[in-house]
Chains A and B, each alone.
Chain A
């Protein structure tokens, strides 16, 4: 037995991946009879008109069977006399590339299908690139549909040459090219007499014998801590899986990032006390003294991972929402989860030839190299050196989608990295960091119309939902910034101008601003809109009629104005010019605060 082999099949859509694996399982008698019956039955109702469609063995989802394509990665388990296998059959459609990457992250070897009649397609190249990115070092290229090109050796050799050229870009340990026909079964489990010129092994026999043992590169001991086990006050153990190296009772370990030294007092390996353990084992380590260690810390011996908050990484973007530099994500690396920002997109990688292309945004299924900054120093390593400490995912903080996966290329020091100092942080980046679109919500209306009450309620709701907000109203502006202004027409104009300028600054800072001012003159509001920006300004007209406002007269201002004690009072001794095209109009005469706020809030949510 050669031990377990985890491999994937990938390649472009319709290259016959599922058929290849299905046929291999079928020929090697590795499927149970009920599956075989179901296969024959499914084929009859399927699209191949009664002939056995081997792909149905793997395409397990209803949508996949209906559309005749693979959407998500399927895992199959089989054992021959020589070896046990887990195969991940992955989708070929570009849209489902991320599911292909899921399979690749799990595999030691990739079987990449190439359609002999079409040669190397963009998607074949993309898949090879992703396999390499995810850490695969062993490749088999199955040149499929050889029956369609009459098993022509020349054309096979031509394809083989393009494969070798592509492979030259990557760091790999083994690569084999095999001519096959997945539907007819040539060179799948036994050599075909239709390819007498082919001197290699059949696909299955190659897979049974290929050696994928990692060449041990003398790693020290590393164990990321998953959790602290504390059943009672006498026991405190650190639980995790040993990622590299070995450990014995009595060894001295260093805790990172706290950098303390302690000796291993006991090792529990899957429930049993042992004196020694090594790579791959899930253990609990007890140390001989109290150390500052919790989940996300790393215990090491003779290993020196990086401790930094800045690194360069190669990522695969998987989210429908594009990547913009400056946006804040949750980064998970090893067992550590920490807020992180993609500081700079250095370049994206051309799918076909690996060229470096300048880019400000990265879209779904694109590969890019970026600089990433974490909110605190973390322990990590190059992916090449330590897969567990060098691979990470980025999680969207609102949708919780796994937006990207990536591998660490190298650490950066603040001193040798000038990007941060040179970078002008833009309005978009500040907004992206807060996961929101900054807007100014401008409430206008008569005194007593209910502006401030609704504005206050709206801010509370936005705040509860996690938005970053600020309210500007008479109370916090008139007493400070605009202390020197009165109520004359020119002072009122200046008052509104200053409020608009402050709103703009706060929008630039990424905040959603809510203003509540009578702002009676149309031209002043137009000017405010010009200052704030047409796209950022949302006007809410609280249209409660004068009679109702005067009836309420909460502050007794109307009474004073009527008796002439307040000059230039809007509605009484000074005009109010209602907006012609407010985004939202609400009359509070017959509504409760909640009802009015609901109405405004629902509309605002569509505009944010």
Chain B
């Protein structure tokens, strides 16, 4: 590959995949979760189609429990790049008062998985880009780049289509769809190094700062608004924390850290003793197979 670096190769691969989808799929959409992987995906999409704008909309499935800084960031970015940003909220779930404190895994199912399916059906998207990476979790490590979903959005891990070389089979029947993961082969380290190299904007929550938080079930939870009710014995403390992944604030554990620059984050990531998903509370709910279960049901 001439003088290409590892990051150059990953970038070219992702761009190739994005172009293949746009050239072959009827109605693509890019899932946008506001996290660092989404920031990288958006950046790659801007590059892939330049000087054209990304020829598809972006979709944020909002659980209404995201960190408020994430929503501000999302709106700022959409305006800055002039991209079409769709927001979808499962209003039925909101009406029923579904929340992460009282409803546990049902919350994830209703506000994330179900909401995503509703949104995809509503707009009739035939292909959805996601920022999933194979180094994140064991069942993700097994997923194809073009991952086929039936009309119920379900994944059949035992019967995936073979995917050879760079020949992606995008053929689907009516009602079926594909999820496409252009950064499958990136690691967390690659993501951070690329963010640094390309000077990509990310939500400030990734950098350490003094934030109000509590300790709950061994996780550091940030108190982002007054919907978080303190339990007996819990008290708000101000700690210097940052987040390795971003999601719903009551379900995302922070880590104590002094890393305030990308270099410091990269250094911290390289010496990390636990993988990034441990700070996401939902994964350990249901044992090591919980992610696969959710994915079979349509979770990203």
By a beta-carbon cutoff of 8 Å, the part of chain A in contact with chain B is 3-4, 32-35, 38, 42, 58-63, 65, 71-77, 79, 84, 86, 98-99, 101-102, 105-106, 134, 226-227, 229-231, 235, 237, 239-241, 246, 268, 270-271, 278-282, 284, 295, 318, 330, 332-333, 335, 337, 387-388, 391-393, 395, 400-402, 405
Contacts and interface: CB of A to CB of B under 8 A. Distances in A.
A72 B157 contact: yes
Contact of A241 (B2, B12, B157, B189): B12
Given A61-B142, A75-B141, A278 B2 contact: yes
Contacts of A337: 24
Interface in B157-193: 157-158, 160-167, 169, 171-173, 184-185, 187, 189
B167 A86 contact: no
B162 A99 contact: yes
Interface in B105-139: 134-135, 137-139
Nearest to B138: A60
Contacts of A32: 272-275
B200 interface: no
Nearest to A6: B185
Contacts of B166: 388
Contacts of A239: 19, 48-49
Q: What 8 pairs across the A-B complex have the smallest Cβ distances?
A: A60-B138, A271-B47, A282-B15, A231-B52, A400-B171, A280-B1, A227-B23, A105-B164
Interface string B1-25: 1111010110110011001101110
Contacts of A73: 142
A280 B46 contact: no
Nearest to B278: A34
- Of the listed residues B9, B46, B171, B184, the one surrounded by the most CB atoms of chain A closer than 10 A to its CB is B171
A34 B274 contact: yes
Main secondary structure of the interface of B (DSSP, over half): loop
Contacts of A42: 288
A77 B187 contact: yes
Contacts of B278: 34
A281 B11 CA distance: 9
Contacts of A318: 162
Interface residues of B, number: 60
A543 to B, nearest CB: 37
A392 B22 contact: no
Contact of B142 (A60, A271, A278): A60
B289 interface: yes
Interface string B245-281: 0000000000000000000000000001111001000
Contacts of A59: 138
Contact of A271 (B22, B23, B46, B167): B46
A150 B169 CA distance: 48
A537 B236 CA distance: 80
Contact of B50 (A271, A278, A330, A391): A271
B215 interface: no
Contacts of B160: 72, 99
B146 to A, nearest CB: 10
B142 to A, nearest CB: 5
A32 B276 CA distance: 10
A220 B59 CA distance: 42
Nearest to B134: A75
Contact of A270 (B1, B15, B171, B189): B15
Given A32-B275, A60-B137, A231-B51, 19 more contacts: A58-B138, A60-B140, A61-B139, A62-B292, A63-B157, A71-B158, A75-B142, A101-B164, A102-B162, A105-B163, A134-B164, A239-B48, A241-B15, A280-B12, A282-B11, A330-B171, A391-B164, A393-B164, A395-B169
B6 A3 contact: yes
Contacts of A395: 169, 171
A227 B274 contact: no
B165 A387 contact: yes
- Of the listed residues A34, A231, A246, the one surrounded by the most CB atoms of chain B closer than 10 A to its CB is A34
A333 B167 CA distance: 7
B51 A393 contact: no
Contacts of A3: 6
Interface string B46-66: 111111110000000000000
B23 A102 contact: no
A392 B274 CA distance: 41
A229 B51 contact: yes
B12 A393 contact: no
A89 B169 CA distance: 22
A405 B164 contact: yes
A60 B141 CA distance: 7
Contact of B273 (A33, A77, A102, A284): A33
